[in-house]
Amino acid sequence: MSYRGKPTKACQKCRLRRVKCDLASPVCQQCEKIGHECQYRDLFDIFHKDETSLARDHAREKWRKRSTKSANRSSSGDDAQSNSDSTKPSPSSPPLVDALQLPLDDRARSRFYFDFVDVRFPYLEILVPRLLGATAADSLLRCTLSAVCYANFAGRFNDRQAARAGATQYGKAMRQLAGTIGDPAKLKSFDVCLSVYLLSMYEVLAGDKLDGTWQAHLKGCGDVLQIYNPSSINTAAERRFYRSMYTQQLLRHMGQYSAPPADLNRSQDLLPPIDSTIQTLLDLVLRINIVCVNLQPNHQPKGVDITGADHCLEDAVELGFQLQSWYQSLTEDWWCSAKPIATTNRYQWISDLLSFPGAPKIMHQYSSPHAKFCSNLYHVGRIHLNLSMIDHLISVYPPQQLDTAIIKDLSSKILSHIDVIMKNVPSTLGISPSGGSEDPRTVNDVQGMKAYHVMWPLVKTSRCFKRKSIKAADKDGRGRWIKHVLEFLGRELSIKKAAAHATYF
């Protein structure tokens, strides 16, 4: 007999047992009593539920007819070429997923592949065989990868079932990781290294609070990197991923005003050499961390003689000259081109970003994602160094001996570095200078990795606006726009941690 009533919202176990489900979240009372895993269907499956194969086939046929008619309409007229191109799966368009045929886990993996793997700046392409099922279903890596896929899908499409599934897989992964920590041999596995990184990525996508969980996972990445022997890495993809983790550790220590451990730094010598421009910048960023630690008030010796030479400050000034020298030595391949931003002929989501008070009027474009990444890393490093110098001057020198002109000059330089980072945001999101068909039509056309590369430099700049000298000098509303972008990343692009950082303003 065909189904004639409204489909039930009960969980899978209650439907199979034909018992009443109280629809409690995340676990109903029936499943809690018998200790079963409680899984709910998403609203899409409920709304389109049919009990007979004939009705299901009929619905699929109508879906195909509607899709064909829609494609025929969109391919007519002047926009035929652009619309037909937009239906092809490519790095610039989201996957075309038939929700009537694919289960939730396949849809989540497909979206994650589009967002973080099939990108121009790849370091997660090592996940491709894992996404295709090369690892055991109950392994630590599969659980963490599933958790990240579900969390990304839930944030993108406000899917509560995906959020529950992600939390379940995250819990399984944490239990497995607890058993792995006691085995040094397992800790040296590359899959464990990758799993710990994915756990921190889950917190970026799903964690809407600034608690210690994210930092704990990032610290775990550093601990694994210290005991992992990179000389056993065989592929270029694994080397790119390892270097990416190393760079993130530098940024983590920068935010915590701590110097990376020597074991982590020595491990880089075991990897094949990379482009000298990038390597020199990484070495300078490492020195920034060390110098800024020495500039902190709790590292100053008691009874410091303020009439003598300030060696910590001298080291910081000298490092600033070295950073400037590196920047001026860049060849044309690393330069940016400045383009005015047109405010008309824009899709609504882009218009909301570019018309918000404090938005940049100029955008920067680069010849490669690596050039843009190095630009952001350089300017973030300069901001961190100058900010540490301001904190050092205020903490060491009494107000009557403090040269306010130096504070104002450092604050002005910080804002100039923030300006560059802001001008890098539109092109990172795929927004063109002139608008039109070159722009992503919706936020779902923007890859998650692009949102991540917007988030991390803005997060590093956000704490600057807590300083009175910088707030006073920010006449153009830079802080307001940065907060707006971070909220946008959390609300529209599934980067919940970005929205959490927006609360710092």
pLDDT digits (tens, 9 = 90+) for 277-318: 988 999 999 999 999 999 987 766 544 555 555 888 999 999
Same domain (yes/no): 277, 187? no
For residue 254, CA distances in Å to 210, 411, 463, 466 come to 17, 19, 13, 17
- Is the model's pLDDT at 232 over the cut of 70? no
> Which of the given ranges, 2-6, 75-79, 120-124, 430-434, has the highest pLDDT on average?
430-434
What CATH number is attached to the domain comprising 16? 4.10.240.10
The verdict on residue 242 lying in a domain is yes
- Shared domain for 239 and 334, answered yes or no, is no
Residue 249 pLDDT level (bands cut at 50, 70, 90)? confident
Mean pLDDT of 232-243: 75
In terms of domains, do 376 and 453 share one? yes
Residue 81 has pLDDT above 90, yes or no: no
| Predicted TM-score (pTM) of this structure | 0.77
Residues 245 and 299 in one domain: no
Q: What is the mean pLDDT of the chain?
A: 81
**Tens digit of pLDDT for each residue in 118-172?**
766 656 776 766 666 657 778 899 999 999 999 999 999 999 999 999 999 999 9
Q: Looking at residues 16-42, what average pLDDT do you find? A: 78
435: left (phi over 0), alpha (psi -120 to 50) or beta: left
Residue-wise pLDDT for 371-388, tens only, equals: 999 999 999 999 999 999
End-to-end CA distance of the chain: 60
Same domain assignment for residues 311 and 172: no
Residues 366 and 425 in one domain: yes
What is the extent of the structural domain holding 25? 9-41
- Same domain as 32, residue 131: no
Q: Phi and psi at residue 93, in whole multiples of 5°? A: -135, 145
Q: Is the pLDDT of residue 233 over 60?
A: yes
Predicted confidence at residue 375, as pLDDT, reads 97
In this prediction, what percent of the chain has a pLDDT beyond 90? 44
Residues 245 and 277 in one domain: no
The rounded percent of the chain whose pLDDT value lies above 70 is 76
| 343-370: pLDDT as tens digits | 888 999 999 999 999 999 999 999 988 8
Residue 370 lies in a domain: yes
Q: pLDDT value at position 261?
A: 78
Question: Is 310 in the same domain as 447?
Answer: yes
Place of tokens 């560059």: 420
| Residue 350 and residue 390 share a domain | yes
The mean per-residue pLDDT over the stretch 10-18 comes to 82
**436-473: per-residue pLDDT in tens?**
888 999 999 999 999 999 999 999 898 899 888 999 99
Domain end among 256, 283, 303: 256
On whether both 228 and 356 belong to a single domain, the answer is no
What is the tally of structural domains in the chain? Answer: 3
Q: Is residue 99 part of a domain?
A: no
Would the pLDDT of 80 be above 50? Answer: no
Q: Looking at residue 187, what is its pLDDT?
A: 74
On whether residue 223 sits in a domain, the answer given is yes
Q: In whole angstroms, give the CA distance from residue 186 to residue 406.
A: 52
Residue 3 lies in a domain: no
Please check the confidence at residue 97 and state whether its pLDDT lies above 60: no
| Residue 128 placed within a domain | yes
How does DSSP assign 440-463, residue by residue?
-SSGGGS-HHHHHHHHHHHHHHHG
User: DSSP secondary structure string, 217-241?
Assistant: HHHHHHHHHHHS-GGG--SHHHHHH
Q: What is the pLDDT of residue 43?
A: 46
What confidence tier does 50 reach under pLDDT thresholds 50, 70, 90? Answer: very low
Inside any domain, residue 61: no
Is 56 among the domain residues?
no
- The pLDDT score that the predictor gives to residue 397 is 84
Answer yes or no: do 339 and 466 share one domain: yes
Instruction: Kindly give the residue spans of alpha helices, DSSP state H, lying in 228-275.
Output: 236-256, 262-267
In the predicted structure, residue 225 carries a pLDDT above the cut 80: no
Q: Which residue has the higher pLDDT, 436 or 25?
A: 436
